[in-house]
Homo-oligomer: A and B are copies of this chain.
Amino acid sequence: MMAKERFNERLRRTCRERDSLLCLNLDPETARLPAGVARSPLPVWRFVQEVLDATLPALAAVKLNLAFYEVLGKTGWDTIERILAYLPGDVINIADGKRNDIGNSARMYAEAYFSALPFDAVTLNPLLGIDSVAPFTERPDRGAFILALTSNPSADDFEKRRMGRGRLCDEIARKCVEWNTRGNVGLVVGATQGKDIRRMREIAPALPFLIPGIGAQAGDLEQAVRSSHADRRSGTLIAAGRSVLYADSTNDYAAAAGREAARLCADINRVRKSFR
């Protein structure tokens, strides 16, 4: 039997073959759905489907922040199932849920997100250490992006505090390098973190980065692409959400989302190809 392709290798191949580093955050807020969609029976699903039809050509990956589905109750689970069934196999899908926990509970979450729902990768919070991460990295073909330095202002509360040879975020990145024994661990580094993205890349030269914070959160796209060495083989996904989903609030939203995704994909490619 041929060994399955490791997640990080698949991610790099996907970005190369689709000529895109763009990850679309599918985080639809019921209150912001266009009027025409809001009246349909499964409004969030209809909105996501139409946005996908328009944006898929520009995407390497999609990321579903589970909060936006969980708030819908049972309908949210249905909606996720439909989205996963609809996505083409050569686009990576990520469950952004930070769902780790200690031993027994982490195994349940891994079963929920890698089996009950067939996600390719998850996001995880490293605070509880390797016990809470290991159940998600057992399968080499499934990935785990671990929060190292987040895009929010209170990342200063703990992540940027001094620890060991540097700061907590540096120590997290070092542990992630150590935990990457199966080629399926990556880092989440906020696009708003400026020159700290470069520091994370120095510590973890070979790990894929998932970089949210472009667009609505106003992180600098060019700096994110340059600092993460998005041109090299390490792998980088640049994630955007609201600026694409809500590019136009009229019923022209899907076409507008498609144009915005294509523009972001091209902007990212222009920067990364300029220094190759």
Beta-carbon contact of A129 and B154 below 8 Å: yes
Question: Which of B71, B100, B112, B156 has a CB less than 8 Å from the CB of A129?
Answer: B156
Quick check: is A78 within 8 A (CB to CB) of the other chain? yes
Q: How many residues of A contact B (CB 8 A)?
A: 52
> Within residues 242 to 258 of chain A, which ones have a CB less than 8 A from any CB in chain B?
none
CB neighbours (8 Å) of A171 from chain B are 158, 161
Quick check: is A40 within 8 A (CB to CB) of the other chain? no
- Given known A65-B105, A129-B157, A168-B158, contact A116–B150 (CB-CB < 8 A): no
Beta-carbon contact of A154 and B132 below 8 Å: yes
Beta-carbon contact of B78 and A74 below 8 Å: yes
Beta-carbon contact of A68 and B27 below 8 Å: no
CB neighbours (8 Å) of A155 from chain B are 128-129
Nearest-neighbour CB distance to chain B for A261, whole angstroms, equals 20
User: What does the 1/0 interface line of A155-167 toward B look like (CB < 8 Å)?
Assistant: 1111101111000
Q: A154 — nearest CB in chain B belongs to which residue?
A: B129
CB neighbours (8 Å) of A116 from chain B are 71, 73
CB neighbours (8 Å) of A104 from chain B are 27, 29
Q: A160 — nearest CB in chain B belongs to which residue?
A: B129
Nearest-neighbour CB distance to chain B for A179, whole angstroms, equals 10
Question: Which of B126, B127, B163, B168 has a CB less than 8 Å from the CB of A147?
Answer: B127
Could you say which of A68, A102, A125 has the most chain B C-beta atoms within 10 Å of its C-beta? Answer: A102
Nearest-neighbour CB distance to chain B for A79, whole angstroms, equals 11
Quick check: is A152 within 8 A (CB to CB) of the other chain? yes
CB neighbours (8 Å) of A90 from chain B are none
Docked pose: A155 CA to B65 CA in angstroms: 26
Nearest-neighbour CB distance to chain B for A193, whole angstroms, equals 13
Quick check: is A5 within 8 A (CB to CB) of the other chain? no
Q: A70 — nearest CB in chain B belongs to which residue?
A: B112
Beta-carbon contact of B154 and A131 below 8 Å: yes
Question: Which of B67, B112, B158 has a CB less than 8 Å from the CB of A71?
Answer: B112
Quick check: is A130 within 8 A (CB to CB) of the other chain? yes
Q: Which residues of A contact B (CB under 8 A)?
A: 27, 29, 65, 67-68, 70-71, 73-74, 77-78, 98-106, 108-109, 111-112, 116, 125-132, 147, 150-159, 161-164, 168, 171-172, 175
- Nearest first, the 5 A-B pairs at minimum CB distance are A129-B154, A129-B157, A67-B108, A102-B152, A67-B105
**27 residue pairs from A and B, CB less than 8 Å apart:** A27-B105, A65-B101, A65-B105, A67-B109, A70-B108, A70-B109, A70-B112, A71-B111, A73-B77, A73-B116, A74-B77, A77-B77, A98-B100, A98-B101, A102-B150, A125-B128, A126-B158, A128-B152, A128-B154, A128-B155, A128-B159, A130-B154, A130-B157, A131-B152, A131-B154, A161-B168, A163-B163
